[in-house]
Amino acid sequence: MKAIFLKELTGFFSSLTGYLVIGIFLLITSLFVFVFKGEYNVLDYGFADLAPFFLIIPWLFMFLIPAITMRSFTIERNLGTLEMLTTRPISTRGLIGGKYLAALILIIIALIPTLIYVLSVGQLGEITNNLDYGSTLGSYLGAVLLATSYTAIGIFSSTVTSNQIVAFLLAAVLCFILYFGFDGLSSYLSDSDFLASLGLKYHYESMARGVIDTRDVIYFVSVAVLFFALSEISLKSIFSKR
């Protein structure tokens, strides 16, 4: 798994992919948080708080992460190298794990420069550095955990098709459904709290409030494990047909 992980991570930065992901992410977040007028602009928010930034994270990840993961296995299938990987001393789980971790680390690396936002917003309040650091820490942890789920969904999507565009669209749609779908259904049905708690949005917003609950952590990890397992099943079905 280590070899696959290093190969994938090196591949991101030996081409423009890694730099584009980080650059686009930072550019879009900076424009929304500090330049564009609207609900995501910290300067219009009225409080020295990064809440607007964390509101756009799920939307950006919903497109950015599928764009990263869409090549994970589709390119292997198109180049015919997937069969070669099976002849090496690595398990299907290790193969998926290496690609998964590389994509997740790339997202975490993209998040690290946004710590500058924390320092910048900390200077905006009437009292310098009077930022709710507990809420900010919970929000960052929530963003990382959301990325673990989205990345697993993206990896799974890349195993079920050999077309990168289809893999991208499938991952984006699945992320959208799991994030907003249950929350939307809860507004129409009576048992709203239970339905809402089945979605990613409920748990992400809970952590964004600074409440680090083990139930939220377990939920995100469970979603990631579920799609990791589905990826393994999908790959094994491909190998069994060859």
pTM over 0.85: yes
- Lowest mean pLDDT of 70-74, 91-95, 105-109, 122-126, name the range: 122-126
**8 A C-beta contact, residue 93 and residue 155:** no
Could you tell me the residue range of the domain that residue 185 belongs to?
A: 2-240
| Cβ burial, residue 127 (10 Å; 0-12/13-18/19+) | exposed
pLDDT number for residue 190: 62
Q: How far apart are the first and last CA of the chain?
A: 23
Among 1-5, 103-107, 235-239, the range with the most confident prediction by mean pLDDT is 103-107
pLDDT tens for 27-45 read 998 888 888 877 777 776 6
The more confident residue out of 179 and 51 is 179
Q: Which helix (H) or strand (E) holds 109?
A: helix 92-111
Tell me how far apart the alpha carbons of residues 224 and 8 are, in angstroms, rounded to a whole number.
Answer: 19
pLDDT tens for 12-23 read 888 888 888 899
Average pLDDT over residues 179-185: 85
DSSP H stretches of helix in 1-73: 2-14, 17-30, 42-45, 51-69
Considering only CA atoms, which of 57, 49, 42 is closest in space to residue 142? 57
Among 194-198, 225-229, 238-242, the range with the most confident prediction by mean pLDDT is 225-229
* Residue 92: both structure tokens together: 């299907």
**8 A C-beta contact, residue 53 and residue 29:** yes
Please state the domain count of the chain.
1
User: Residues 6 or more apart from 99 whose CB is under 8 A from it?
Assistant: 4, 5, 8, 69, 72, 73, 155
Q: Which residue has the tokens 């799609």?
A: 227
Per the prediction, the chain carries an average pLDDT of: 85
**CA distances from residue 75 to 3, 70, 118, 158, 167 in whole angstroms, order as listed:** 18, 9, 38, 9, 11
Considering only CA atoms, which of 160, 150, 167, 158 is closest in space to residue 226? 150
Residue 142: count of CB within 10 angstroms of its CB? 27
pLDDT number for residue 212: 81
